[in-house]
Amino acid sequence: MVLDLFSRQVIGWAMGSRIDTQRVLNALLVALWRRQPTDAVLVHSDQGCQLTGHDWQTFLHDHNLVSSISRRGNCHDNAVAVSFFQLLKHERIRRQTTRSIPPAVEGFKEFTLAHFRVYGKVQ
């Protein structure tokens, strides 16, 4: 999931049965396609292996993206993403289980649209 920290809008995501580098790159590619930035963009992430390897670094370089990685044990760096996923788990996942990807995708879309309507407006 790619979350724009300014608007707090989900601008890219990819879903599957497991997380891997290609899935993360697909989510970021969707975000780039939607926003089409002309200047360098800061991409903040944790230290997950999907976000530190050669493919990740090459993708960032090729798309004029600058990596920012949290320090180990610093939960405040990822507070917005952690908050989003906690709310997603509480509001959607724990209340509704699915046995396949398509219903999960629809549930995620509904949640992100509702989340943006409530929390995403700049006051």
Predicted confidence (pLDDT) per residue in 7-37, tens digit: 878 888 887 777 788 988 999 999 999 999 9
Q: What count of residues does the chain have?
A: 123
Non-local (6+) Cβ contacts of 94 within 8 A are none
Domain around 54: 2-119
pLDDT at residue 122, rounded to an integer: 40
pLDDT at 6 exceeding the cut of 50: yes
Q: Dihedrals φ, ψ of 109, to 5°?
A: -60, -45
CATH number at residue 26: 3.30.420.10
Total domain count for the chain? Answer: 1
Most confident of 3-17, 29-43, 77-91: 29-43
User: Has residue 50 got a pLDDT over 80?
Assistant: no
